[in-house]
């Protein structure tokens, strides 16, 4: 199998460019084990630490850096027998929705190489969709696991904030982000989550969830088309669902009804403020988190500088890409003294109301889960045929709300629309990932999803 897998790997990697670094000797060791995850190869987004592997975060500033230690989530998978084969491409520091903001290389969607794989965990999504690995780790700050999962036709989980240790994840916006899972099937996604979850003394915010009763109402909340347009008419920019995504959303509703779920209309009045609140909080946290990249402790040091201040200026000017600079500036702007009430504190208040909106609908006896679109479009093209960078941000409305509220959300493929995958997501109660897996697994059984042309199954049990 290994010779065949190695050739398959090389062929698809040339087409997709999913990896920043991979290890042929690890690929050689990979095999389809008989139990659990043993022997299975997996890929890790290049902002999650794996000892001895690259940790570039898709940035020139950290290009070539090797991690001296391993993230807890990765360590737990290795202890279960899985094998890291490489590090995947991403938007620089997780900032973006296409992976085109990687400063290091371009990643293509395995379904159509003219289209983006989504982002920021685009390399991980492409690697799974092409069948190069049965699963991969990504990170989700505002949708970065779920959106590329939808673009590439795979399953993507953003766990509850605190369910998975963030030790070893390079921070972008700490209060919003989690390590997440991309996998070829719902059950594989569940298997991986069950291994990586749980408290870790190295991340004080991680904890073990109390067991859920398992009792469900079989009620799923859905935004009606009217509520969607009402929400969007009050929001920033246009994030209206494309006809392709609308068809996919309708199919998902029909299938869930056929599976015996009762769909009830829900409303989240504060959702229209989600994107401005998200970008205020995310950039504020990013401006603090990225301050460590000074060319002294981390990052490429300029060849020559007048003095230490000049050295830091040069390291950042040369190392950070445009989008990262924009966001650091925006973050320092919203945090500057005297203006915190106007932006940052207000965004935190909106965040609180969004969380309450979801708590109301997910209260005991009400909905088990909420069905939402993932992104307004399927995978877009590059350059002029794509979405503007502003439109890409406005489009985060459907994903970033789960991060603002700290809730688990599972994105899974539903249909092929005009030849490209389209998916939906289910948001659930805190620490109730299992209910989301249960619903999505039933869905998957009834409507198994297809694969890109030339895909080969190396990893099914
Ligand atoms: N698209 C969002 C952003 O650019 C989400 C990124 C993420 O989840 N890391 O911030």
Q: Residue 10 sits in a domain of what CATH number? A: 3.90.1300.10
Give rounded-to-5 percent helix, strand, coil for the chain.
Answer: 40, 15, 45
* Predicted local distance difference test score (pLDDT) of residue 298: 84
Name the phi and psi angles at 97, rounded to 5.
-135, 25
> What SS3 class is residue 394?
helix
172 in Cβ contact with 95 (< 8 Å): yes
Distance from the alpha carbon of residue 315 to the mean position of ligand 1, in angstroms:
24
d(CA 145, CA 125): 8
Beta strands, E only, 148-196: 155-158, 178-183
Q: Which residues of 22-60 are buried (b: 16+ CB within 10 A; e: fewer)?
A: bbeeebeebbbbeeebebbbbbbbbbbbbbebbbbbbbb
Is there an atom of ligand 1 within 6 Å of 120 CB?
A: yes
> What SS3 class is residue 13?
helix
Beta strands, E only, 353-406: 369-373
Q: Which of 299, 347, 345, 352 is nearest to 324 (CA)?
A: 299
Give how many domains the chain has, as a whole number.
1
d(CA 19, CA 43): 8
Choice from 57, 90, 119 to test ligand 1 binding pocket (greatest atom count within 8 A of CB): 119
* Predicted local distance difference test score (pLDDT) of residue 299: 82
The number of the ligand 1 atom at minimal distance from the alpha carbon of 143 is 8
The residues annotated as belonging to the active site are 45, 120, 144
Sheet holding 19-22, edge to edge: 19-22, 83-88, 41-45, 135-140, 178-183, 155-158, 409-417, 420-428, 369-373, 219-222, 262-265
Distance from the alpha carbon of residue 145 to the mean position of ligand 1, in angstroms:
9
323 in Cβ contact with 172 (< 8 Å): no
Supply the range of the domain harboring residue 185: 1-461
- Protein residue with its CA nearest to atom 4 in ligand 1: 96
The number of the ligand 1 atom at minimal distance from the alpha carbon of 140 is 8
d(CA 8, CA 430): 40
Is there an atom of ligand 1 within 6 Å of 444 CB?
A: no
The number of the ligand 1 atom at minimal distance from the alpha carbon of 141 is 8
User: Which residues sit opposite 45 in a β-bridge?
Assistant: 88
* Greatest pairwise CA separation for the chain in angstroms: 70
d(CA 105, CA 110): 16
d(CA 286, CA 300): 19
Interacting residues of 265 by C-beta distance below 8 A, sequence separation 6+: 221, 222, 223, 224, 227
Interacting residues of 300 by C-beta distance below 8 A, sequence separation 6+: 60, 61, 62, 63, 64, 315, 318, 319
- Give 194: exposed, middle or buried? Use CB within 10 Å, 0-12, 13-18, 19+: middle
* Predicted local distance difference test score (pLDDT) of residue 1: 63
Q: To 5 degrees, how large is the angle CA 108–CA 328–CA 89? A: 20
The number of the ligand 1 atom at minimal distance from the alpha carbon of 279 is 10
Regions of the chain where pLDDT drops below 50: none
- Protein residue with its CA nearest to atom 2 in ligand 1: 142
Distance from the alpha carbon of residue 143 to the mean position of ligand 1, in angstroms:
6
211 in Cβ contact with 152 (< 8 Å): no
Is there an atom of ligand 1 within 6 Å of 143 CB?
A: yes
Q: What is the pTM of this model?
A: 0.97
* Predicted local distance difference test score (pLDDT) of residue 411: 98
Is there an atom of ligand 1 within 6 Å of 280 CB?
A: no
């Amino acid at each position: 199998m290994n010779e065949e897998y190695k050739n398959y790997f090389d062929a698809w990697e040339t087409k997709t460019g999913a990896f920043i670094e991979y290890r042929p000797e690890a690929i050689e060791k990979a095999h389809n084990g008989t139990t659990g995850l043993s022997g299975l190869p997996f890929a890790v987004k290049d902002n999650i630490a794996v000892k001895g592997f690259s940790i570039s975060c898709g940035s020139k500033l950290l290009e070539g850096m090797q991690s001296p230690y391993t993230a807890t989530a990765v360590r737990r998978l290795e202890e279960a027998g899985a094998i890291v084969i490489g590090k995947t491409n991403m938007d620089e520091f997780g900032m973006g929705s296409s992976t085109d903001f990687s400063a290091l290389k371009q990643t293509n969607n395995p379904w159509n190489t003219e289209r983006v794989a989504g982002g920021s965990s685009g390399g991980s999504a492409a690697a799974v969709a092409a069948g190069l690995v049965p699963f991969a780790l990504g990170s989700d700050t505002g949708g970065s696991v779920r959106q590329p999962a939808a673009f590439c036709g795979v399953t993507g989980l953003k766990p509850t904030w605190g369910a998975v240790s963030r030790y070893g994840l390079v921070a972008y916006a700490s209060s919003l982000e989690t390590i997440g899972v991309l996998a070829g099937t719902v059950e594989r996604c569940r298997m991986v989550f069950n291994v990586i979850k749980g408290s870790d003394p190295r991340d004080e915010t991680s904890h073990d969830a109390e067991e859920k009763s398992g009792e469900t109402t079989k009620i799923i909340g859905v935004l009606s088309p009217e509520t969607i347009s009402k929400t969007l008419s009050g929001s920033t920019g246009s994030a209206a669902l494309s006809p392709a995504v609308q068809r996919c959303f309708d199919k998902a509703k029909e299938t869930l009804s056929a599976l015996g779920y009762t769909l009830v209309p829900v409303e989240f009045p504060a959702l229209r403020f989600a994107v401005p609140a998200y970008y205020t909080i995310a950039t504020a946290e990013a401006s603090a988190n990225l301050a460590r990249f000074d060319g002294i402790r981390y990052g490429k040091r300029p060849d020559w500088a007048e003095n230490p201040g000049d050295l830091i200026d040069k390291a950042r000017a040369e190392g950070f890409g445009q989008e990262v600079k924009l966001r650091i500036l925006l973050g320092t702007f919203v945090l500057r003294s005297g203006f915190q009430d106007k932006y940052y504190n207000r965004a935190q208040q909106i965040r609180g109301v969004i969380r309450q909106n979801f708590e109301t609908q997910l209260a005991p006896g009400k909905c088990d889960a909420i069905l939402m679109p993932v992104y307004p479009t399927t995978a877009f093209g590059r350059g002029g045929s794509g979405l503007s960078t502003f439109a890409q941000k406005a489009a985060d409305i459907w994903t970033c709300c789960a991060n603002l509220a700290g809730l688990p959300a599972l994105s899974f493929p539903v249909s092929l629309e005009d030849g490209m995958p389209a998916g939906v997501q289910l948001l659930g109660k805190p620490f109730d990932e299992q209910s989301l897996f249960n619903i999505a697994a039933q869905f998957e059984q009834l409507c198994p999803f297809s694969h890109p042309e030339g895909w080969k199954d190396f990893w099914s049990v």
